[in-house]
Structure 1
Amino acid sequence: MNDNQMNQMATQAVMPSVLATNKMLRNTYMLLATTLLFSGVTAGIAMITQAPPMHWAITMIGYFGLLFLTNALRNSVWGLAAIFALTGFMGYTLGPIISFYLHLPNGHETVMFALGGTGLIFLGLSAYAVTTKKDFSFIGGFLMVGMLVAFLAGLGAMFFHIPALSLGVSAMFILLMSGYILFQTSLMVNGGETNYIMATVTLYVAIYNLFLSLLQILSALSGNRQ
């Protein structure tokens, strides 16, 4: 067997993998864009109807319940219905939060900067992971530990009303969510994630938390105190 034949066989072996990766990325980003739009609509409905902020316990139960449902149905067409229920619910809980920030001094600028910053961070990190094809799976364990620490610190800040700790948690979440974007995109590019529904959920949650964290920090920098 000559070199040309070996190269041709190698190319033929790589092609299906490349096509599968491209399909995975395309399906994930299309679903992500649609769910972000849908959650924007539900957030708008909550703002227009002046829905009150949802109790944190109800939010957590709704989030984890719908997340479990989405995971259970991830390999069926009902998984799409579940992910829209999840992202629609999260969007609805976001509406009162955005309304609160909009009524603060410089609130409109703060919300717009948070939106823009979230978009730039997501696009920049995603583009980096896709173009370089680097494997970021090694940070998975660190991210899990970091999320647990940030979650517990966030509960402490909420129950004991410690503004400085709350801002520190927001900064932690910005770093952790940026890491999750790199981690999840790397999994898709390198074949470690083949379910676009679960990939979309991970990226959506990262974007959601990234936006909220930027919103809190930018608001504090502008002189507002929550």
Structure 2
Amino acid sequence: MKAGRRSIYVGAAAIVQLLTACSGEPAADNHAAPSVQAGNAAAPVADGKLVLAFGDSLYAGYGVAQNESFPFRLEQALKAQGLAVQVRNAGVSGETSLGGMQRLAFTLDGLPRKPDLLLLDLGGNDMLRGLPPEDSEKNLRAILDELKRRQIPVLLTGMLAAPNMGKDYGAKFDAIYPRLAKDYGLPLYPFFLDGVIGDPKLMQADSIHPNPAGVNIVVGRIAPVVAGLLKDA
């Protein structure tokens, strides 16, 4: 996995490319409330489980069709295991931890009911912009505090720092997600792009976001974790 990270996060050009690709809206507007889409049709949630995928472009489905996005394919995978579930897409391209913190309450209040599980994927854009890891952790803690207050279970899907951010920065950033998982007693999937990053057959032309085949690999790894958490809920 480390070799894959090096092959994809090489040089400042990759950083600029990713920031350009992910920034669907100006940073100041990232906290504006997005529409929350269901993984499939936006039908009311009845007796089944409700999962909210809350994060950035990796959840939003940048560069792929909506029915090829991570939330959509995750819902399909869970249903194939016999689970009655709806996965709603609350990903926003270019989102930072601060933007996520600012839109969290509005997003949750717009749901038909409290989610049975929230998947959290934020912080990658903070790292790519060189924002202080301490600030990212502070924002993520505020998000987790609010989710704890609302008694919403969380699965953290983490990110790893690009090697060219430097060893000191990388050490500080990479420690965020394991520390949060430990402090809040949360399950952690350490690196969302594990198994796909660095493989051109699984990545889009930007070498940053997974293509549909890559999304399927990610879903195949994360779906069993999500299924286990939903069955234990």
TM-score of the alignment, normalized to the shorter chain, above 0.5? no
Higher alpha-carbon Rg: 1
**Greater fraction of residues in strand:** 2
**Greater fraction of residues in helix:** 1
TM superposition score normalised by structure 2: 0.30
